[in-house]
Amino acid sequence: MRPANHLLAPRPSVLLLAASALGALLACGGAGGPPSSGATAGAAGPDVPPPPSSSPIAASGAPGAASLDLERLDAAAECDALVPTAAPEPVTVRLTAPAGGTCVAGSADGTGAVALGVRDAAGALTWQARSRDGSPLGTFAAEALVAAPDGWQGLAGAAGTVEHVSIAPDGRVRRASPISPDPALRTGFRSRLAQDPQGGSVVLFRSVTVAGNHWNALDAFRFDASGAPRWPEAVPVSSDPDAAEPYFMAAGVSITGAALMLFQDSAYLRAHWVEPSGAAVADAGEPEASAAVVGEGLSHDVDVAPLLDGGLAVRSDGSWLRRYAPLAARSEPLPAWLAERARWGYRLTRGNAGYAALEPAGVAAPDCVQRIELVAPSGRLCGRITIREGAQGCTTGALDQGWDGTVVQQSGKDACTFRWWPALLARG
C-alpha cells in the first residue's frame, strides 16, 4: 500500500518508551531550537528566480484568529507537486486536562480523524478521538502512538504487561496483540514503536531473564496496516549477558520495507536490519562507536525516521545527527537540508513528493508564529506554510502532519487548544 503521506512525528514522552517528543507516536516531536535560516542545498539558480516570499499564494483564517499563509518560494518543476495552492479553514477544539495533568499532542489518521492526547498527574496518557469536523468520539489509552491509514497503532499496558493495540478512527480498540512475555520469567521491559511508511508499525522489545545470569534479549515485532501481526512470531535481534544493556535503542522502517534496529552494545552502536519477511540481513561490516552516531555517554533518547532515498535518519536527544543508507551497518552524514534543520521534525509529504519540515515545540515565539517548510527530495526549499495564532508571547506547541495530510497544531498560548487543517498536505 502506498500511503498518501508518511507520518513520523516528534512524539510526546511516554512511560514505556523512555521519554521523547511525539510523536507520534506517535510518534510517528522534540525540544526547541532556533528557526532554520532557510538556506538549503539545491536552491534555484539565477535562471529560475523564486517568486517573492512576501506574496502568499493562499491564506485562510479570520482576522484575529488562527490563520495560515501558503508561499511558493521556488518555481522549479520539482516543486509543482509539493506546494498546495489553497488551504481549508481550521477546526479548533479545546480539551480540559485533569488536575495536575497536561495536554500533549495531536495525530491525524488516514481518514481525517484526529487523536488528541492528555497526560494525567500520575503520568498516564489518554487520547480522545475526534472526527474530521471536531466532533468527539471515543477515548483510548496508549503510551506510544503512530498514525495508520485507518486509525492508529500504539503500545498499551497494565499490571506489568505490554500490548500492541490497533485503534479505529472512532477510538475503539479493534485488536490487541501481546508483546511482553510472562513477567514471572522475564522483567526489565522496554519498548520502541515506529511507523511503517507503507502502513502498520514495528516494535523493538527488550526483556531480561529472571533466572540464571539475567541475559537481556531484544525481539522485533511487525504489524500490518490493519494491526495484524505480520510475522508469525517475534524475530530475535540480540541477546547479551548484561542485565542493564542496551541502555538505549531505536527502530525504524525504510520505504523499501526493511526495518532497522539500532541498539547500544558496550561502546558501540549496532545496526541490525530485518527484511519485510522477517529474515535477518547479513551484517555489512563492523559496528561503529556509539559516540560517533548519537553522542557521548550512555543515556540517549534515539529515534529513526525514513528518508525518500530508502535510508533512515537518526535523531538523538532531539537533534538529527546521522543517517544510514539502506542495509548499511555504519552511518554517514545527514543530507544538507536536514542538517540545517537538526531540531525540526519532518514527514514525507504530498504522496512522497518531498518533505514537510516542522518547526519544533518549545521555541519562544513572541509573535505566535510557527512554520512548515516544504523541501524537495533534492533539498530545494519549495515553499513555506506560516501559521499565525493571532496572539503575542507564545512558546510553540506540538506540530504534526497526519497520514492523510492533515496538519495538527497545539496552541502556543494554551496547551489544551488544538487546531487542524484537514488534508492540507494530502497527495496533490
Amino acid 194 reads: A
Strand spans (E) along 254-358: 259-265, 268-274, 288-289, 302-306, 312-316, 319-324, 345-349, 354-358
Dihedral of CA 421/253/351/388: which sign? Answer: positive
Supply 26's cell numbers: 506517535
Number of domains in the chain: 1
Nearest to 374, CA basis, from 22, 53, 45, 150: 53
For 325, list phi and psi in degrees, rounded to 5: -70, 160
241: buried, middle or exposed (CB in 10 Å: 19+, 13-18, 0-12)?
Answer: exposed
Nearest to 154, CA basis, from 138, 143, 168, 139: 143
| 394 contacts 18 by C-beta, under 8 angstroms | no
Q: Is residue 386 in some structural domain?
A: no
For 45, list phi and psi in degrees, rounded to 5: -80, 180
What Rg do the C-alpha atoms of the chain give, in angstroms? 21
Q: Is residue 6 in some structural domain?
A: no
Beta strands 407-410 and 417-421 are antiparallel
Neighbours of 384 (CB within 10 A): 19
How far is Cα of residue 424 from the mean position of the Cα atoms in its chain? Answer: 18
pLDDT at residue 41, as a whole number: 30
For 234, list phi and psi in degrees, rounded to 5: -60, 145
- Cα distance from N-terminal residue to C-terminal residue, the chain: 17
| 385 contacts 411 by C-beta, under 8 angstroms | no
Separation between Cα atoms, residue 405 and residue 273, nearest integer Å: 29
Strand spans (E) along 73-213: 91-94, 102-108, 114-119, 125-130, 136-141, 144-148, 151-156, 163-167, 173-178, 186-195, 201-209
Which DSSP symbol is given to 293? H
pLDDT at residue 158, as a whole number: 74
- Residue-range definition of the domain harbouring residue 156: 94-352+400-421
Separation between Cα atoms, residue 66 and residue 90, nearest integer Å: 8
Separation between Cα atoms, residue 159 and residue 10, nearest integer Å: 28
Question: Number of helices and strands (H, E) in the chain?
Answer: 2, 31
pLDDT at residue 61, as a whole number: 56
Q: Is residue 381 in some structural domain?
A: no
pLDDT at residue 283, as a whole number: 75
Separation between Cα atoms, residue 271 and residue 287, nearest integer Å: 7
Separation between Cα atoms, residue 318 and residue 13, nearest integer Å: 12
Separation between Cα atoms, residue 310 and residue 137, nearest integer Å: 37
Q: Is residue 212 in some structural domain?
A: yes
Supply 296's cell numbers: 557521548
Q: Is residue 201 in some structural domain?
A: yes
Q: Is residue 65 in some structural domain?
A: no
**What CATH number has the domain bearing residue 271?**
2.130.10
pLDDT at residue 364, as a whole number: 97
| 138 contacts 172 by C-beta, under 8 angstroms | yes
Supply 8's cell numbers: 513520523
Q: Is residue 412 in some structural domain?
A: yes
The one-digit pLDDT tens for each residue of the chain (428 residues) are 334 444 443 333 333 333 333 333 333 333 233 223 232 233 233 333 334 343 467 655 554 578 999 999 999 999 999 999 999 999 999 999 989 999 999 999 999 999 999 999 999 999 999 999 999 999 999 999 999 999 999 999 876 899 999 999 999 999 999 999 999 999 999 999 999 999 999 999 999 999 888 889 999 999 999 999 999 999 999 999 988 999 999 999 999 999 999 999 999 999 999 999 999 997 767 889 999 999 999 999 999 999 999 999 999 999 999 999 999 999 999 999 999 999 999 999 999 999 999 999 999 999 999 999 999 999 999 999 999 998 999 999 999 999 999 999 999 999 999 999 999 999 97
Q: Is residue 8 in some structural domain?
A: no
Quickly tell me which residue has 481525517 as its cell.
112
Amino acid 412 reads: G
pLDDT at residue 58, as a whole number: 60
Beta bridge partners of 71: 384
| 196 contacts 152 by C-beta, under 8 angstroms | no
Strand spans (E) along 23-84: 58-60, 67-72
The kind and range of the H/E element at 292 are helix 291-294
Separation between Cα atoms, residue 2 and residue 135, nearest integer Å: 29
pLDDT at residue 157, as a whole number: 87
Where residue 378 falls (left for φ over 0; alpha for ψ -120 to 50; beta otherwise) is alpha
| 252 contacts 299 by C-beta, under 8 angstroms | no
